[in-house]
Amino acid sequence: MRTGPLHIAIVGKGNLGTHLFNGLLDAHAPYFIGRDLQLHSPTDVVLVCVPDDQTASVCQSLPQDALVAHTAGALPLQNDARRGVFYPLYSFTKEASLNWGEVPILLEARTKEDETLLREIALCLTKNVFHVPYEKREKLHAAAVMVNNFTNHLYTLAYEHAAEHDLPVEILHAIMRQGPDKAIKLGPKKSQTGPAVRYDAPTLAKHLDSIKDPEVQQLYRLLSGSIQKHHPKDEL
């Protein structure tokens, strides 16, 4: 590994770009670049932290001889020679505190030399660094959407349901915190509880009656049915 700080350009001042800048500041020399995509001299690596639909055009607009790594989990390596992927598999929000040491970073590059350089940067943030090619990374991205984005949306629906019935949402916080930790410790299938896994038809019917939004009712039915599919009665 080389000595001295790396000069790292970051495209995008959003949630991820901001956390990367702050996380790399102690060990390296990160800086933001604007829409003109003008790099400082010297620049060792460019990290592209923009929405997926803008990633390809930004990467294509940067110099071909620069090492440019995008941060999109669902996108492949771009076509130019020195292109890579630097994908932290995590949910980033500017206002939320972050422990980089808990974050896995998935890497890919067209050359071993460039991946080594990306790994050097990643190791300044976390020890959880992995080489994951696109065909596996996109599948991990789908799984991450399920465990994070989908569950967060269910939290939104639960909050709305509580508000409709004038219930304090704070009462839900303990079980919201408990669920992920228990699933990690015991495994999600073993951790499953609730009326669906018990085949408690009267409780399921009462819940459906209390839900006013037809779309949420249908989602409740689908999820309850899926739980029962993975927990058939003969396994109880």
Q: Using pLDDT thresholds of 50, 70 and 90, give the confidence band for residue 236.
A: low
Write out pLDDT tens, residues 115-129.
999 999 999 999 999
Is 143 in a helix, a strand, or coil?
helix
pLDDT of residue 94: 92
Q: How far apart are CA 83 and CA 72, in angstroms?
A: 13
Rounded to the nearest integer, the mean pLDDT of the chain is 96
Q: How far is residue 170's CA from residue 144's CA, in Å, rounded to a whole number?
A: 26
Structural domains in the chain, CATH included, are 7-132 (3.40.50.720), 138-235 (1.10.1040.20)
The confidence score (pLDDT) of residue 234 equals: 81
pLDDT at residue 44, rounded to an integer: 97
The token pair that represents 61 in the structure block? 């607009």
Q: What is the pTM of this model?
A: 0.89
Q: What is the 3-state secondary structure (H, E, C) of 74-85?
A: CCCCCCCCCEEE
Here the tokens at position 33 are 């670049």
